[in-house]
Structure 1
Amino acid sequence: MTDGRSAFAEVFSHYRELLRKEPWLETAVCWTVVVPHEPRPFSLADLGARVSGGTPHEAHEAAPLEALPYFDGVHPMSAAPAGPAVVLFENNGFLGSLPEVLRRLSRDGRVCGVYWNVEGDNRLSYAADGRVLVNLDAMFWDEWTGDDFAVLEPELRAMTDLLAGDEDDWQAAAMTVVELVTGVRLTAEWLSGAHPYLTFRWPLATEPPSPEELSAYRNNPEVKLRDAVRAAPESRQFTALTHLAALLATRFRLGEIPVVRDVLVDLASGRRAGAQRAVELREQLVAPLAQEAFTNDDDDDADDPSFEQDPAWQRMQAGIALQIAARGPKGAALTDVDIPMVFDAYHHAGLALGDDWPAVRETVRGILSGTDA
């Protein structure tokens, strides 16, 4: 067994070695991993439709990276399953980093990826349920603010801790984040193998969705919950967050931690966590849970995405949900800018609760809508 810090360092060491063995990776790459909520992989046809947004594209049989076409405006993308997840890889590409593509790929799942090119442009991204939640410049990690860490608190914090002593290895650190978030490892063996691939023509679709897509989007339970958050008065939002926090504290045995008990009292009283409480939550709740979650047995398979069923990982997600819930709603009149931070507590609660989340989600929506009586 290793502690959490050692687990982060092992992954970091893997990507530093991979970049040393495959120096072409340092020039320009786009590596994107899609993890569906349901334990089933997306089909190649579905991936093509999501990336393209409906514009012309083609699916192809397996081929090595060096055989993919890079001419006449063709944009190739390898697409290979990794358990229920899918690895998308572009050598000198960028499609997987586009916000509209991330939104489409993350419907019914989560997406994390890294992109950089020879000019220094880069992005470390995370999207879930059709929303881009993290979109950061990985090269200037030392300029991130406290809010930048909220959604991926342990993973991004681990990245900055690792770079404190190796600041030039930001690419390896960003790749470390992708593995920590998705459970999928990129290896030299994968890069040298043959994989199915897709080809696209630029530009991809950015127009509004069709009526059918819009209807499906509006009927998505996560979207309905988000709409309920947007419409609820502040008092109901506090009630919903209090209910959720108490449930998570009980289900995952977090109530024994003093700072969690303080948060439950604060939320029940309609009080938001201040700066000091935020620090306490990070140091006393999320950091220890992350250490437990990322502690690996020697025989663990780092390529196995089933880590989402790991009780320690789920408990960490519950801790992150509590950390974000402690901030309370932003105010009575929520804007589209405010909604993501408020809603992220529910997103992480869903990851923690797994199959139990749909029933809890409906209870929360009833509280927000005033129909729970």
Structure 2
Amino acid sequence: MREDMTYYRDLLAEEPWAEVSACWTVIRPSGNTATSRDVVTLLAEKGYAEAEPHTPKDMPLDGVLVWEQHGTICLFERYGSLGLPYDLPEWLSESEAYSLFWDVESNTKISHVRNSKLVAVIDPMEPDDRSGPLNDELRRALRFLEETARDHEDDWQAAALATIETVTGRRLSREWSRERHTCLVPGSPAAENHSITEHRFVSDAELDTALTNASGDIQADAFATLATTLVDRFDLREFPVVAELMTDLPREMRAPSRREVDVREGLIWPLAERFHAGGQAEPFEADPVWRRMQGGEALAIVFGAALSPGGWRDRRDALYHAQLAFGDEWSVIRVRLADQIRSGQPPE
């Protein structure tokens, strides 16, 4: 397993985008001939629709890649953790699945599902934080995770990837990282029975590419539009730090006057307190208080792009939290931002 960890350490160094957030799931169907197309059909029933094939690096941030590997069905997400669908149909109800997830908020977990039920969960960063009975494969992996956390704590991601490979026999290869795979996205025109001419669709990957290729001034103007949309949609001017920064938005977008930590203290902490004080609804996406908190998180990144002491944080990280905040509205906002970047003119 240690050799596998070395392999994944090298892979993460070559593909640094994967260190930010990822979810890798391997499903082992039992006694049936289920294929990746069956999973595509399942996701379509959940509102996903097939997009153009993508590599893991250029896939839409809200997309899911699906492929087959030696009798197993694999899923990969850059953000989010659709991961293990517990409500599996009959043709997969006797399957076994393992999933590894981590995100930008340091949430991490290795999950084991059998017969559509969550059996066990391990936090690869803190292996003592686990629940449920472990099978023999996971017990052996647990010892390895504990050793890594104790002696090589910075290698927890590589160790977690090696764990999934060990218990499933499947690898995220270098070829996999460069190949295009079947890709599904939520809330696309196909899922809503609209044609491309009726409802133009811009993926997260396309917006990210447009931002990357834009000039500094056009980027600043696009983030100013995003900031204004967040503030208006989630009524964030009630917080003094936001009201102050919005008074000179063009300057703030070009030369942030506050570190992100300052903005978080005046915005995120109060929003988080309200969220936790009110109880947590399930799913979070249906809770307007949680979505407002995500909007604040996006705004904090936009306003305070300077992290201390880690240097500059990419403002594009805000797009992930904006997606969570806006939910179904995000596809429309994404199109407006992309149009603004292409035209160089803010929306009317």
**TM-score using structure 1 length:** 0.46
**TM-score using structure 2 length:** 0.49
